[in-house]
Chains A and B, each alone.
Chain A
C-alpha cells in the first residue's frame, strides 16, 4: 500500500509540476530524489507547502564530488520519508537557504555551515553554532581533509582555557 503512495507522489511531481527527477527507492518507506541545486528551493516549497510534509533534518557528507547535503522530509499521514539529495561542488560550496520557506531549517543550516563549510545564500543569521572556539572559522572538522594531528599539534589534546575569559 505504501509503495503505491510513493508512486502517486512521483506521478504527481511529474504530471502536476512537470518535474522529471532522478530517483531511487531502496525500500517501501524511503525514497531518495536527486535534485540540482538550482531547483532545490522550488522543490522544497512544493513538498513542504503544497504536500504538507514535515521537515525532519538535513545531513551533510563529504564525498568525492563535493559536499552532499540531504534534506529529509517525512510524510506522516502516508508513512514514508522523502530525501532530497543535493550537491554543493567543492570549488563553490554554496546552496540556497531554505529558511524563507521553512523556518525550522535555521539551526541545521548554521550547523552545516559550521562543521562542513557549506554557505547558505539568503540565510538571515548565518553564524557558528556548535564548533569549539579553539577552531578557526575556516577549519571544518567534518571535511575529509581536516587534519586532526595538525589540530592537536597546534592546540594540544584539550584546548587551552584562556584565564582572562574564564574570570569574566
Chain B
C-alpha cells in the first residue's frame, strides 16, 4: 500500500515553512519531495535598494537565531571587497558574540531533538541551560537577539571589559553541565539504540550534496570555516574541530554537544586575551568590485556574495544560508527510513526554527485518516519506549536525572 504524507508547510522542525511530501509503502519511506518558498521575503532584492549600512540591519533579520551569523558574513564580504583588515579588538568581539550564539543555538536544537524522541528531560534541562547564555548576550550587548552590534569595518559599539568576569562565571557554571550531558549521551544505551544507524548520510552522499557544518562533520568531512578561512580571531585561539564518521543522527547529536564544549573553550580564551584599542575602522567609500564573505554559522558555512558598482547601494547581494545546502540531503538520508524516524532525521540537520506557527498534518490516502504533529511525535516516542523495554532500561536518561538532582 502506497500512501502520501505531506509534512508542513507549517512545521516546528523547519526554519521556514516548508512542505515535504513523503511517499510511504507501509511504514517505509520510498520517496521524498520538498517544496520551499512559502516565506520568501525578497531580502536579496530589497538589499539592492538599501545602503551598505542599512543592509547590515536587513540581513540581521534573515533569521532570528543566526542574527550574528548573517551580519558578520555580510561584513566579511564587504571587507573582502575593500581589502581591509579590521582592528583586533573588533575581531575578538565578533568571536565572542558568534560563539555565544553557537552555544545557544546548539542547546536549542539538542532540546528539540530530545523532545522528538521522547526524552523530555533533555528538552527541559538544555533549555534551562540556554537561559543564562541568552541573559549573558543581553548583559553584554543590550539584547538577547538581534543586537545590532555589527558594522562594516568593525563593530558598532564596544563591549565593556568589566563585564567579562561575569561571562567567565557563567561559562564555569555551564561547562560541568555540558560535560555531564556529553557523558550521559555517550553512556545511554537507549539513546544509542534509538539514534544510532538512523538517517545515515554517507560520506559520498555528503560530498555530492555539498552539505556543510555539523551535518558534514558528523559524516567525516573535515571542514570548518573558522579554521579554513580563519576570519575573526579564531587563528589566535587554541581549539579543535569535532569530527565523527558514522553520519547517523546519533553522530549529529554528539557533534553538536561536543562543539558546545569547544565553544566554551574559545569563549574563555577570547574573554581573557581580548586586546584594548580601537574597535571600528572608518570606511569612506566602497569601490566597484566583488567580494565573498564566509562564516561558520551554528548550522554550517554561510556565504554572501556582493557586487558593488561604486555607488552607495550594492548591485547584487547573494545570501546562502547553510540549511539551503543541508535540506536537499534528505533525498539521500530519508529514503528507506521508517516514518517514526523521519521526524528526527528531518530535524537532525537543524533547519532553524524562526517560524512560530506549528502545524503538521499527514493524510492517509486509503483511509482518509489525518495525522497531526502529535501523532508523528507519538510514533517516534513509542519507538524509543519499545527499545528501552527491549533493553530492560528505564528510558529518558535515568543517569542524567540522577546526576542533576
A positions within 8 Å CB-CB of B? 26-27, 29-30, 32, 54-57, 59, 61, 70, 72, 74, 76-77, 79, 81, 83, 102-104, 106-108, 128-132, 141-142
> B315 contacts A129, CB within 8 Å?
no
B30 cross-chain contacts in A, Cβ below 8 A: none
> A56 contacts B303, CB within 8 Å?
yes
- Which interface class (under 10, 10 to 19, 20 to 34, 35 or more) fits B? 35 or more
Q: Is B310 an interface residue (CB 8 A)?
A: no
Please name 26 pairs of A and B residues whose Cβ atoms are closer than 8 Å in the assembled complex, sorted by A.
A26-B83, A26-B290, A27-B80, A27-B83, A30-B292, A54-B207, A55-B210, A56-B301, A57-B303, A59-B305, A59-B316, A61-B316, A76-B222, A76-B223, A76-B228, A79-B230, A81-B292, A103-B209, A104-B325, A107-B328, A129-B37, A130-B40, A131-B37, A132-B37, A141-B42, A141-B45
Q: Which of A61, A103, A128 contacts B208 (CB 8 A)?
A: A103
Q: Inter-chain contact count A-B, CB under 8 Å?
A: 79
Taking A59-B316, A76-B222 as known contacts, 15 extra A-B pairs with beta carbons closer than 8 A to each other, sorted by chain A number, are: A27-B80, A29-B229, A30-B292, A57-B324, A61-B316, A72-B303, A74-B301, A77-B228, A81-B292, A83-B292, A103-B328, A104-B209, A107-B324, A108-B324, A141-B42
Q: How far is the CB of A102 from chain B (nearest CB, A)?
A: 7
Considering the complex, give the chain B residue whose CB is closest to the CB of A85: B290
Q: How far is the CB of B207 from chain A (nearest CB, A)?
A: 8
Question: Contact flags (1/0) for B48-85 with A, using CB distance below 8 Å?
Answer: 00000000000000000000000000000000100100
> A104 contacts B228, CB within 8 Å?
no
Question: Contact flags (1/0) for B258-291 with A, using CB distance below 8 Å?
Answer: 0000000000000000000000000000000111
Complex CA gap A161/B209 in Å reads 36
Complex CA gap A74/B224 in Å reads 12
Complex CA gap A79/B294 in Å reads 11
Complex CA gap A119/B328 in Å reads 21
Complex CA gap A57/B210 in Å reads 9
Considering the complex, give the chain B residue whose CB is closest to the CB of A106: B328
Considering the complex, give the chain A residue whose CB is closest to the CB of B205: A103
Complex CA gap A61/B228 in Å reads 28
